[in-house]
Structure 1
Amino acid sequence: MRSKLAEVAYRGLNGVFAVYKPPGMAALQVKTTVQLNLLKDLNSLKQRPLKTMVKILRDTGQTDETKALTVTEVPSLADHPLAIGPRYQDIGIRWLTPLDRMASGIMVMAVEDGTRKLGMLHAAQFPSVYEIKGRLGIATDTFDDTGKVIEKATHHHVTREKIDRVVAAMMRVHQSAMTRFSGVDMQSQEAYELAVRGLLRPSLDKLPPIILRMKCLHFENPDFTIEMECVKEEGAFLRKMAHEIGLEMKSAAVATQVRRISQGPFNLEHALLKKHWKLDYISEAIQICKPLVKKKKVLPYYKMKRTLPEEVFKELKETEAKLDIMKKRTTFLESGDNAS
């Protein structure tokens, strides 16, 4: 790979790949690190020749005045990297769905022309699968073990059977919301086929996170591990779910680890470790991931926006109106406090 031309390597950087984000690293830092590594590797490869310029020279070896000038092409020093800087100074990189600083796991990214596929991937609403590790007995203001402890509670009464029942109940509530906001008549054949294939998705963008599947993988008091498949999720929501489980157990709980193990067709096998965020590995990963982003792979997830029942729209508008009133009240109170 190091013997190839930089131009050839750059043309191969068009597509989608996945990286494994370690905890404690911001998504923007991941993007910047990948970007700088690619630029460094591209500039270390063999570059194209310098541009040429036409130059008229005086031939000092000729005495005849008619032959004293000659036209020749010479390399243009204005095109030299020492004059204009490295050949490659910027490269377009975007992510599909970022992870917050505390979370770890797979992050799908696109480079150069591959960023055009992100619109299709966003519309597909790929579900993400997370492993959430929690600990019973304490509650914090950030719902994780790094926050300020605000409560302590007993946890010896919690059993695996109780957690399984609570998790099943929470999943049923979210599945009911999914069927309600999917925009599909639940008595139709289409709804049955989508449900069997696991392709029911919310038909509106402005909806809260929804859990598709949830189960307890491990429990050894006070530690537990939950596997959760969801859409439209955020890091705060995932950590809060561990807190909610603690409350349902008549105890308290915090999330000690949040890890995304898959996103749609992408899983941990496709994710590059930090030591592999380099040109050679990323170019290879783009080729491996090409079949995963073909239309025939993405379209089964994608569903056109449907018309929701009128009463659902009415409920959403009422909720938005209440939120607007609360924001206005908060702004008014804050302005009064600042004035005093």
Structure 2
Amino acid sequence: MRSAVSASDIWSVLHGVICVHKPRDVSLTSLKKILVSAICSDANECIPPPRIPTIELPIVEPHPKSQALVIVGMRKQLDYSSHPLVVGQPFRKEDIRIEEMHYLGPASSGVCLFGINDGCEQLEGLRERAWINEYRLLGQLGRETHKNEIRGKVVVKREYDGVTRYRMQKLLSRVQAQYKRLAFELANVDLQSQEAFELACKGLPRAKILGTPIVYGISLNSFKAPHFSLTLNCVSETDSFLRDFIREIAISLGTTASCRRLLCSRIGPFDAEHSLLDKHFTLSNIFTNMRLCRGIIEKDAVDSDANIVQNKPHIAINEVIEDQLIEVLNEEPSEEVVDDCLRIAWGREYTQV
């Protein structure tokens, strides 16, 4: 059962970072509008209707002889300056600020991080942590689209008979070695020094200047020409960089290719288990996810190394938050009644043989 709360109670906790799963063919702008609409509608339902105050207004009538206006009494009426139809709802869409941490195109999908209100100021600090993000890419050989877009028009077609799994695997190994060398160069570390050896024992060095895409890991999941899938672990990547990466790999093999699907499966310590689906956009779930993200960010700050970039281990939800109740909403757990899916209309009485 939900009890009434004030708007200030909800506003006081409506600040933080949330993890959301972006569906395919839905832009980030549309997803943010859906999220803000869900917050406003649920928050306005939690607040009881305001008690509209009354004011006294004079009753003015003309004098029977002089026809001058005189006050003959006082009457009470509602103060329309405080009426909800005049001042509006307590929570409005334009009052909520929301920003994304990384951009994903409309045709892409996967895990996204959003900052809400004061949580937007935390996004820049999270970007500076240079988390390793994991992407799953599905490419198709022999076709090239306009600007390498996933839904783009096919502009070039080429043969791909000479492309084999062995050749692609060998090329990906060389590309990964080149990016590993680039990681040491961007960290201002000499590959022949003792410092480079110590960093290599711990992991890969963190770039001193962010902004240059670095691929720390490439794996070929499947290859069945013309389709193939890759898993990339990278830092400072963009949506266009990942699509261009598929094309550049194919060009190095003597053909061309286009990205058919792009899925962000992990952003640092956040994965699909920590994300909210659009059908779960309720105020209670959003507050719970904020608490979850706050705990994961604090746990990551303790375990992270300023000089090393490393894959984050999976963090279970029960390690961060034990209960799923939101104190600000004063919600009580409801017992879910599970219906018998095998129940039959004539009962379950059987005759013994």
User: How does the TM-score come out when normalised to structure 1?
Assistant: 0.76
Does 2:159 align with 1:154?
yes
Determine the structure 2 residue equivalent to 1:178.
183
Determine the structure 1 residue equivalent to 2:40.
39
Q: Aligned match of 1:232 in 233, 236, 245?
A: 236
Q: Secondary structure at the match of 2:261?
A: strand
Q: Is the 8 A contact 2:103 2:238 kept in 1?
A: no
1:184/1:256 CA distance change after superposition, 3 Å: same
1:237/1:21 CA distance change after superposition, 3 Å: same
Determine the structure 2 residue equivalent to 1:221.
225
Tell me how far 1:92 sits from its aligned partner: 2.0
Q: Secondary structure at the match of 1:31?
A: helix
C-alpha offsets along residues 3-28 of structure 1, whole Å, 9 cap, x if unaligned? Answer: 34253343332221111111222222
1:83/1:196 CA distance change after superposition, 3 Å: farther
1:219/1:84 CA distance change after superposition, 3 Å: same
Query: 5+ unaligned residues in a row in structure 1: which ranges?
Result: 59-68, 305-340
Does 2:5 align with 1:5?
yes
C-alpha offsets along residues 165-202 of structure 1, whole Å, 9 cap, x if unaligned? Answer: 11111111112111101134545665445444445222
Q: Is the 8 A contact 1:143 1:254 kept in 2?
A: yes
1:55/1:254 CA distance change after superposition, 3 Å: same
Does 2:98 align with 1:83?
no
Say what the alpha-carbon RMSD is for the aligned residues: 3.0
Q: Given residue 123 of structure 1, which amino acid in structure 2 is its aligned partner?
A: E
1:197/1:17 CA distance change after superposition, 3 Å: farther
Once residues 272 and 77 of structure 1 are traced to their aligned partners in structure 2, the CA distance between those partners, rounded to angstroms, is 40
Q: Secondary structure at the match of 2:181?
A: helix
Determine the structure 1 residue equivalent to 2:29.
28
Q: Given residue 138 of structure 1, which amino acid in structure 2 is its aligned partner?
A: R
Structure 1 residues 244-253 or 218-227, which shifts more?
Answer: 244-253
Q: Is the 8 A contact 2:28 2:105 kept in 1?
A: yes
Once residues 28 and 281 of structure 1 are traced to their aligned partners in structure 2, the CA distance between those partners, rounded to angstroms, is 21
Q: Is the 8 A contact 1:5 1:48 kept in 2?
A: no
User: How does the TM-score come out when normalised to structure 2?
Assistant: 0.73
Structure 1 residues 82-91 or 41-50, which shifts more?
Answer: 41-50
Determine the structure 1 residue equivalent to 2:19.
18
1:183/1:190 CA distance change after superposition, 3 Å: same
Identity of aligned residues (%): 28
Q: Given residue 117 of structure 1, which amino acid in structure 2 is its aligned partner?
A: Q
Q: Given residue 17 of structure 1, which amino acid in structure 2 is its aligned partner?
A: I
Aligned residues: 291
Once residues 199 and 298 of structure 1 are traced to their aligned partners in structure 2, the CA distance between those partners, rounded to angstroms, is 19
Q: Is the 8 A contact 1:199 1:301 kept in 2?
A: no
Q: Is the 8 A contact 1:128 1:229 kept in 2?
A: yes
Q: Given residue 271 of structure 1, which amino acid in structure 2 is its aligned partner?
A: S
Tell me how far 1:163 sits from its aligned partner: 1.4
Once residues 301 and 150 of structure 1 are traced to their aligned partners in structure 2, the CA distance between those partners, rounded to angstroms, is 46
Tell me how far 1:157 sits from its aligned partner: 2.9
Q: Secondary structure at the match of 1:5?
A: coil
Greater fraction of residues in helix: 1
Once residues 218 and 41 of structure 2 are traced to their aligned partners in structure 1, the CA distance between those partners, rounded to angstroms, is 43
Once residues 100 and 130 of structure 1 are traced to their aligned partners in structure 2, the CA distance between those partners, rounded to angstroms, is 14
Q: Given residue 160 of structure 1, which amino acid in structure 2 is its aligned partner?
A: R
Structure 1 residue ranges, 4+ long, deviating more than 4 angstroms after superposition: 48-58, 74-77, 185-194, 301-304
Determine the structure 2 residue equivalent to 1:273.
277
